[in-house]
Amino acid sequence: MTQPHAVAEQTIHERLIPFPKAHFLAASDLNPFVTPRLLDLADAFVDFNRQSSKALDVLHGRTVVNLFFENSTRTSSSFEIAAKRLGADVVTMPVASSSVKKGETLIDTAVTLNAMKPDILVVRHSASGAAELLSQKVGCAVVNAGDGRHEHPTQALLDLLSMRRAFGDVTSLTVAICGDITHSRVARSNVALLQMMGARVRLIGPPTLVPGDADRWGCEVFHDMREGLQGCDVVMMLRLQLERMAGALVPSTREYFRFWGLDREKLAWAAPGVRVMHPGPMNRGVEIDSDVADDLSVSLIQDQVEMGVAARMAVLASLAQREDAR
Amino acid sequence: MTTLAIVNARLLDPASDYDGPGAVLIQDGRIARVIHGSAPDLTADETVDAAGLCLAPGLIDIRVKTGEPGAEPKETLKSASLAAAAGGVTTIVVQPDTEPAVDDPAMIDFIQRRGAALNLVNVRAAGAATKALDGQRMAEIGLMDEAGALYFTDGDRVITNSRTLQRVMSYAAAFNALIACRPADPWLTEGAVAASGELATRLGLSGSPAIAERIGLERDLALVEQTGARFLVDQISTEGALETLARARAKGLDVAVSVSINHLCFNEVDIGDYRTFYRLDPPLRTEADRQALIEAVREGLIDVITSAHAPAPAEDKRRPFAEAAPGAVGLETLLPAALSLHHQDGLDLLDVLRPLTHGPAALLGLDAGVLADGAPADLILFDPGAPVVIDADRLRSKSKNSPFDGRRLQGRVAATFVAGRKVFET
């Protein structure tokens, strides 16, 4: 009798596809044909990850370097676990606290790392475009794990995976992205990917936190939660970066919560069966009420963390597959 | 007493609006005679047959950054002078935002002496308006003026303290000294690296809204009105600010305005996917802004076009966009870039050359920038139609950060003369 573990592994190998681009820098590196197949692959990884034995050899002998110029335990761990489960050798470089302080530039770091012949670089940096710049200077695949306020494409992919698993189909969904849109790379990647897959996207937030030209993104823009949430299937809350409070973008956390924080009352304005998402980490009582965040009948927040590992496994495996195909 | 004749030229003199055949006789470094039309036989020690090439006053670039003193690996006065000579620029005015800042008469003197020793182009200096460019303490404007500073500015730094700027303007008026300021509201431009708009938002870059320039300009002009200072609006970049300026002029304010060649040639789309050579300060604006600036040049509303020469070595440019140093080199590409306004945008040659020659000379009180008897023989011979492909690696500047790299332009300098002496020849 075949073991369930073996079945999952076979499914994974059947679903492996080469990534459409040499790097994964932005949601636009995906396309409407390859994205569902990447999600299928990620689905197989979800099943695999739920088993007790989680060792694969898809990335056996490969070296994945996590290069996090910005601290992020959650994303860094997610990538590290994903790569390790695929059998890669993983190195997490503590660049946030070392080489940058010595005055080494991003390019210097890239050139040094490149000489060590990694296969995949996972990069997070506080400057928009940093991942793209690195991709021009190294010989391996680069995955953007968040660059400034530009993009965070694996987050969009895992969010899409979470939605597809919850609803089955994303093309008919209306998704509201709420909060600090201006400074959010999560919002930019999600808008691009959700629209690519046919979903309707709304942006909701105070005028100081929504770019003035966001209407040109093809989204509907709302500054009122009651109007914006009407008929929404998914409400994606964004973290309010509290340090921005000093910039007087919003007057206080309590006022922000009153008008744009998600609680039961506001959630009731959305469509029946609505699900709530948040890329984390959450400011409870600022952008989201614990009562909503912890209610597993509406919240997909824990699912997103689980899907994060699977989606990143799908991306890393596909990038390696592309290299193999060349 | 040596004489040099340049004959068979197409003379272009924006000061007299003359565009036609002619010849020039040079004696002891000055123009002894300008002949319009066919020249009689000129007797000279040396005769240059221009063979129909354009002969114009040498370009005067009033906004040139060097690394010297303090950051010589970026650019020295020598490398800047070589680039200027090759670009047909016969006078450069060095900006005061060096390290240390040019904020006392000894520094003005140092730059001028060092420049003169090079024996290439005329090297002049602008002094800082405030000590160490701190925006708080007024610099020695009178002493620097005496030492030869041509104008006073804190360069790219906006003097945010209105009281300080008011005092600087008011004090400078006593010396009839020219004050130049970048118009910008510092709060709206804080942290900005691109022009506000859909592109910057998509790329996740902090944007500088056009209105920041207008607000800054409104303040500066209000202070000009109150103090009666001579004033240069440095590096205008938006249509809205042009409107503000037009209103001020209609009220009778005597203010000059400059624009960088980059803002006449590029728009925000050129930053593409984070091309740091297009990271400029002020940032590149919309095509509508660019067209408005070109129109302003056509109508003579722009007094000065500058190269906004700002050398930055590779290590300062090969960074993520927001972290890359702003600015571009431009001395050597200034003429062909400006001629694109003639070839592509239909501007008359004299209208293009005026803000590069007579405009800055008149503003700074220099006797150069004209083809007239007695004027310094700072001249260029150039072929306005010759095709050139800009190769940044071959530029004479120590830094190679040219946004024109790889561009096909038209206009080649054949020879540059400073005080009648040939300092560059193709």
What digits encode the pLDDT tens for the residues B349-399?
999 999 999 999 999 999 999 999 999 999 999 999 999 999 999 999 999
Q: Are strands B18-27 and B3-13 parallel, antiparallel or unpaired?
A: antiparallel
pLDDT for the residue B315: 87
pLDDT for the residue B273: 84
Closest-approach residue (CA) in chain A for B200 = A150
How far away is chain B from the Cα of A132, in angstroms, using its nearest Cα? 8
Q: Which of A128, A151, A213 lies at the smallest CB-CB distance from B198? A: A213
How big is the CA angle at A262 (ends A256 and A264), to the nearest 5 degrees?
A: 135
How far away is chain A from the Cα of B320, in angstroms, using its nearest Cα? 5
- Whether B196 and A212 lie within 8 Å, measured CB to CB: yes
Give dist(CA B212, CA B209) in Å, integer: 6
C-beta atoms surrounding B295 within 10 Å: 15
Q: Is A91 exposed, middle or buried (0-12, 13-18, 19+ CB in 10 A)?
A: middle
Closest-approach residue (CA) in chain A for B190 = A247
Q: Which of A107, A148, A211 lies at the smallest CB-CB distance from B322? A: A148
* B187–A contact, CB cutoff 8 A: no
Instruction: Give the pLDDT means over successive 10-residue stretches in chain A (326 positions).
Output: 68 95 97 97 96 92 93 93 97 69 72 91 93 92 96 98 97 96 95 97 92 88 95 97 72 87 96 96 94 96 97 97 77
Q: Which of B407, B286, B406 shows the shortest CA–CA distance to B340?
A: B407
- Whether A105 and B315 lie within 8 Å, measured CB to CB: yes
- Whether A133 and B320 lie within 8 Å, measured CB to CB: yes
Residue A222 CB partners (closer than 8 Å, separation 6+): A176, A202, A203, A204, A228
| Segments of chain B with pLDDT less than 70 | 1, 39
Q: Which residues of B touch A212 (CB under 8 A)?
A: 196
What per-residue string of b and e applies to A213-230 under the rule 16 or more CB within 10 Å gives b?
A: bbeebebbbbbebeebbe
pLDDT for the residue B1: 64
CA B134, B135, B136, B142 torsion: positive or negative?
positive
Q: Which of B201, B318, B319 lies at the smallest CB-CB distance from A213? A: B201
pLDDT for the residue A215: 82
Tokens 């040139």 appear where?
B64
Q: Which of B31, B21, B25 shows the shortest CA–CA distance to B43?
A: B25
3-class secondary structure for chain B? CCEEEEEEEEEEECCCCEEEEEEEEEECCEEEEEEECCCCCCCCCEEEECCCCEEEECEEEEEECCCCCCCCCCCCHHHHHHHHHHHCEEEEEECCCCCCCCCCHHHHHHHHHHHHHHCCCEEEECECCEHHHCCCCECCHHHHHHHCCCCEECCCCCCCCHHHHHHHHHHHHCCCCEEEECCCCHHHHCCCCEECCHHHHHHCCCEECHHHHHHHHHHHHHHHHHHCCEEEECCCCCHHHHHHHHHHHHCCCCEEEEEEHHHHHCCHHHHCCCCHHHCCCCCCCCHHHHHHHHHHHHCCCCCEEECCECCCCHHHHCCCHHHCCCCECCCCCHHHHHHHHHHCCCCCHHHHHHHHCHHHHHHHCCCCCCCCCCCECCEEEEEEEEEEECCHHHCCCCCCCCCCCCCEEEEEEEEEEECCEEEEEC
**Alpha-carbon distance values, B153 to B27, B126, B217, B234 (Å):** 36, 7, 15, 9
* B321–A contact, CB cutoff 8 A: yes
How far away is chain A from the Cα of B374, in angstroms, using its nearest Cα? 54
* B323–A contact, CB cutoff 8 A: yes
Give dist(CA A75, CA A78) in Å, integer: 5
* A151–B contact, CB cutoff 8 A: yes
Q: Which of B282, B170, B304 shows the shortest CA–CA distance to B217?
A: B282
Interface predicted TM-score (ipTM) of this complex, two decimals: 0.75
How far away is chain B from the Cα of A113, in angstroms, using its nearest Cα? 16
* B274–A contact, CB cutoff 8 A: yes
- Whether A129 and B320 lie within 8 Å, measured CB to CB: yes
How far away is chain A from the Cα of B160, in angstroms, using its nearest Cα? 19
Taking the mean position of all CA atoms in its chain, how far away is CA B224? 22
pTM assigned to the model = 0.87
How far away is chain B from the Cα of A106, in angstroms, using its nearest Cα? 7
List B residues 192-231 in contact with A (Cβ-Cβ < 8 A): 196-198, 201-205
How far away is chain B from the Cα of A13, in angstroms, using its nearest Cα? 35
- Whether A127 and B321 lie within 8 Å, measured CB to CB: yes
User: Could you report the per-residue pLDDT of B238-285, keeping only the tens digit for each?
Assistant: 999 999 999 999 999 989 999 999 999 999 999 998 999 999 999 999
Q: Which of A179, A186, A174, A244 shows the shortest CA–CA distance to A210?
A: A179
Tokens 């790219």 appear where?
B156
- Whether B202 and A188 lie within 8 Å, measured CB to CB: yes
Number of cross-chain residue pairs from A and B with Cβ atoms under 8 Å apart: 60
Tokens 């007493």 appear where?
B1
Q: Which of B48, B50, B120 shows the shortest CA–CA distance to B85?
A: B120
